[in-house]
Amino acid sequence: MNTSSPVIEIYDTTLRDGSQAEDVSFSVEDKLRIALKLDELGVHFIEGGWPGANPKDIEFFQMIKATPLQQAKIVAFGSTRKAKNSAKDDPTLEALLSAETDIVTVFGKSWTLHVTEALETTLAINLELIEDSIAFLRSKGRQVFYDAEHFFDGYKTDPTYALKTIDAAIQAGAERIILCDTNGGTMPWEIREIVATVKDRCSVPLGIHAHNDAEMGVANSLVAVQAGVIQVQGTINGIGERCGNANLCSILANLELKMGRTTVGEGRLANLRTISHYVAEMANLLPNKRQPYVGDTAFAHKGGVHIHAVQKNPLTYEHVQPDQVGNRRRVLISDNSGRSAVLGKIETFGVDLPQDNPKVQELLGSLKTLEYEGYQFEGAEGSFELLVRKAMGTYTPSFELLGCRIIVEKRKTHEEPISEATIMVKVGDVVEHTAAVGDGPVNALDHALRKALESFYPQLREVKLLDYKVRVLTGRRGTGSRVRVLIESGDQKEKWGTVGVSENIIEASWQALADSIEYKLMRENLSKG
């Protein structure tokens, strides 16, 4: 670790800028919970929102006062005063003060285009807006960070004026100047040159606020640190307006592990994957499985050559250790897999199987046949483990299906159809016969199966169906085409995937649902010894 360099301040704006992403809406309770997770991660500043902009943000700032934080400081965000108002009579500045945060972030215009066309005022008046607003907030005892909005576009258009806006903010008492690539279209080499120029003449520390419209959010943030900024702003998972903000998950890992810079502290990076998934869940978004560092596939290996090499030395195909960022190595099983891959995967189940055991070749043959038929085990590791234990003769089914019937009835054109499933299962010597309704035939089947089994296995109440995907494998037969159903389930401890394939979507769904239940019960039995 390069201890001679200053700590890079991490300023999280997930609760404000991140909530402006399409399909994202945080409740006040969501925002409070995320704030606690961000504090646990170790970020230095949490931008809570724009007080006065909406009732949720007002309530958040009221409630966060009673929420103990270990490290992070809550920041209120808003604009400079309106041209028609004095600073002391401006509603936006008054709302910032009413949030009662020690630090406020104020944004102002750096680009002449925005001054004349968005604000519809003069360049001179814009400088007054910046200076008056910051000076007023400072007079009320607030620390002020100044967001120079559209700074890089402004600098490229009129560098003299863009720098004047920064001078006005510094003269008024701003303690940080944040250079914003608000449109997200600046290239890294431009960022480096402009930041270096500003740093040479700026008397206060700089920060960077990058958007990702050109896929440069992370790169621009890292280059800005190289050029001398000490604060990086971004969001968890990069959520934000349009294409999003700079992704703090990648930024934190890169700064700590690649650039030797201290941010939240290397030990806390192990929380990265957890908070990434937590924010995705709060935002009601599926986690991006291909996201660097924290995604499910970040340390997943499929090719036989790769798997064989990683088993010898992970450095061959992994640039960092997965546990450094709270992730794990995964060996994916497919028809590309060789003997070593199958053995490596079996080892993760805690099963010791010698290389020369004929079961290995038998499993490999079964795997290739099943994938030829349309099964896929990369996202269905639960089904694969069941396949392994069945082949080894160490698996005992938890229940036996005696029969099921599903009825879908549509009574009127404009009414939703009614789905009902009736099921009969046998557990030991006991036969259970029950029925349930649901939102569609698969949901009804899921409800009926759980209803039949929960009296025998109450732990199934913990299981939630997290995702359900259907893919048509070949369209040549139209509605008679074979389909693959992938189901992701989870409980309080883990998630697992299961798969089913059939020309009948209900049968394929049954296979995946039954495997999901069997996997849960099998893992429970194994944990008991």
- Of 109, 107, 201, 112, nearest in space to 158 by CA: 112
How far apart (Å, rounded) are the C-alpha atoms in residues 428 and 445? 21
| Residue for token pair 């009926």 | 448
Query: Averaged over 153-161, what is the pLDDT?
Result: 98
Rounded to 5°, angle at Cα 60 from 55 and 66: 140
- What pLDDT sits at residue 344? 67
C-alpha distances out from residue 189 to 25, 155, 178, 420, 496, Å:
35, 14, 18, 61, 43
Q: Kindly tell me if the per-residue pLDDT of 479 is higher than 90.
A: no
pLDDT at 54 over 90: no
304 and 332 Cβ atoms separated by less than 8 Å: no
Position 336 pLDDT exceeds 60: no
**What does the pLDDT look like over 254-265, one tens digit per residue?**
999 999 999 998
Q: Does residue 528 sit within a domain?
A: no
* % of residues, the chain, pLDDT over 70: 94
Question: In the prediction, which pLDDT does 500 show?
Answer: 94
Q: Quote the pLDDT of residue 528.
A: 76
Cα three-residue angle 191-192-198, rounded to 5 degrees: 85
Asked if 474 contacts 455 with a C-beta cutoff of 8 angstroms, the reply is: no
Range of the domain at 414: 399-456
Q: Are residues 182 and 259 part of one domain? A: yes
d(CA 57, CA 77): 10
Confidence of residue 380 (pLDDT cuts 50, 70, 90): confident
Question: 305 and 272 in one domain?
Answer: no
Q: What is the pLDDT of residue 234?
A: 98
Instruction: Return the closest-CA partner of residue 289 out of 302, 306, 277.
Output: 277
Domain boundary among the residues 229, 248, 282 is at: 282
Domain boundary among 227, 248, 282: 282
Q: In whole numbers, what is the pLDDT of the chain averaged over residues? A: 91
What whole-number distance in Å separates Cα of residue 397 and Cα of residue 387?
12
The DSSP secondary-structure symbol of 436 reads E
CA 356 to chain centre: 42
CATH at 417: 3.30.160
Same domain, 450 and 350: no
Q: What CATH number did the domain enclosing 99 receive? A: 3.20.20.70
Same domain as 201, residue 108:
yes
Q: 394 lies in a domain?
A: no
> Strand 330-331 and strand 300-301: pairing?
parallel
Write the single-letter amino acid at 14. T
**64 and 93 housed in the same domain:** yes
What is the pLDDT at residue 353?
67
pLDDT of 266 strictly over 70:
no
Q: What is the pLDDT of residue 184?
A: 98
pLDDT at 53 over 90: no
CA distance 268 to 264: 6
Does 3 score more than 50 pLDDT? no
Which of 349 and 467 is assigned the larger pLDDT?
A: 467
The confidence band for 341, taking pLDDT boundaries of 50, 70 and 90, is low
Averaged over 101-126, what is the pLDDT?
97
Would the pLDDT of 96 be above 90?
A: yes
Please indicate whether residue 305 or residue 60 has the higher confidence score (pLDDT).
60
CA angle, 218 then 167 then 195, to 5°: 25
Span 240-251, pLDDT tens digits: 999 999 999 999
Q: Counting beta carbons within 10 angstroms of the beta carbon of residue 124, is it exposed (0 to 12), middle (13 to 18) or buried (19 or more)?
A: exposed
pTM summary value: 0.76
Based on the structure, what is the number of domains in the chain?
3
β-sheet bridge partners, residue 497? 488
The pLDDT value recorded for residue 1 is 37
pLDDT (mean) for 491-495: 86
